[in-house]
Structure 1
Amino acid sequence: MSQYDSLHDYLQDNSNVDIHIVAEYINTYIEQNWQVVFNKNQDQLMNAYKQAGDMAYGSYLNLLFLSINKELKGAGLQSDTRLPGNLHISREWGNTEDYTDQERWMWSILTSNNENKKIGTIVTKVYHDHTQLRIPRPPQVFSILESSQEDIIGALSTISNSFKQSREFQVEYADYLKNSQS
């Protein structure tokens, strides 16, 4: 990856552990690998999509973020949930009325093992299609300094009105199940 082989080296060259620098590194990795990982695993992902629908996107994200999660550990960082984040508290909305360009925001709080101190939160934007297995554009990450769930929700609600108006996945899914049984 560019001139840096690891997140550890990238952070060493930037003199301190900063959540914004970690986000830069992850974005560079994603830009270089999002399509490669999708193409390389397309048969496996298509099989998962045929069997479980949208859960195939979770498989894709696990494959994409596998190296990043290892890099975090190697750089002395740990996350409260593996990147890209916790599906159950994530939020999703559509950018089109036909469900071909959905956006889900997930997040993970990072802690420095050296100082046992929370350094902030990595937020991942995942774009996907509900009508077929397709990723309309690459995932993106950004960072915020907030590290409590209440503060994270507040910050993200300020950044995006769509986020603010959407509901947590587990709430939305429970309503979906209730309505589908009626």
Structure 2
Amino acid sequence: MNQNDTRLGSMLEEGAGNALYQIYKIGHFIDTHIQSNWQGVLSNHADKLKRAYEEAGDMAYGTYLNLLLNPVLKEMKELGLRAEPRLPGDFDISREWGNEDETDQQRWMWSAIYGKDGEPLGTIVIQVYHDHTQFRLPRKPGVLALTMTAKEEVAEALSALSESFAQALEFTEEYKLYLASLNDEQSGKN
């Protein structure tokens, strides 16, 4: 953890017993961590991330997010907090959109956060801004904190915040359409 970050435990002690307060504090903590570290992770691991992008394409952004969020996950674990799925979230239900030349895309993923007692506190959404033409983050990842945890409620809340999110398909649906288009292309060639 960066020395400039406030320890999550002390932030949560202030609002102990108030789940609503806690999910917003967790979101603020993660956002502060990202603000302090996102560029450092990029520069400290530039060769590794470039190589990952050359070998696996967009999966390199997952590598980046793991490097960026591992200190957050460690601190959460020490406090008995659990992210499900692991931060940054489930790629299969994430949604992506962006500009036509694909140099400024964004993907929103999320994880439900559970307290020591196993009770849901809310959801943390990670907004990843990225480029499909090279490994590049046009701006720092964003963080949203929501009080709900059910997938449908989260998707509804995010759709209310962003028309682009509402119009985007979940990755698994988008991928099915992509595979169908490849089949259609193959059928047309035969």
What residue identity is the alignment partner of 2:48?
Q
Q: Of 18, 21, 26, which residue of structure 2 is paired with 1:22?
A: 26
1:142 deviates by 1.0
1:105 aligned to 2:111? Answer: no
TM-score by length of 1: 0.93
Identity, % of aligned pairs?
45
The answer to whether the Cα contact below 8 Å between 2:5 and 2:32 also exists between their aligned partners in 1 is no
Q: CA RMSD in A?
A: 1.4
Residues 49-80 of structure 1, C-alpha deviation per residue, up to 9 Å, x if partnerless?
11111111111111111111111111221111
Corresponding residue of 1:129: 131
Corresponding residue of 2:152: 150
The answer to whether the Cα contact below 8 Å between 1:91 and 1:169 also exists between their aligned partners in 2 is yes
Corresponding residue of 1:71: 75
Distance 2:56 2:118 in 1: 39
Distance 2:81 2:179 in 1: 37
The answer to whether the Cα contact below 8 Å between 1:91 and 1:166 also exists between their aligned partners in 2 is yes
1:12 deviates by 2.0
**Structure ID, larger Rg:** 2
What residue identity is the alignment partner of 1:120?
G
1:177 deviates by 2.5
1:50 aligned to 2:51? Answer: no
Distance 2:179 2:125 in 1: 27
| Runs of 5+ consecutive residues of structure 1 not aligned to the other structure | none
| Runs of 5+ consecutive residues of structure 2 not aligned to the other structure | 186-190
Residues 89-142 of structure 1, C-alpha deviation per residue, up to 9 Å, x if partnerless?
000000x221100010000001112x3210100011000001111000000101
Number of residues paired by the alignment? Answer: 179
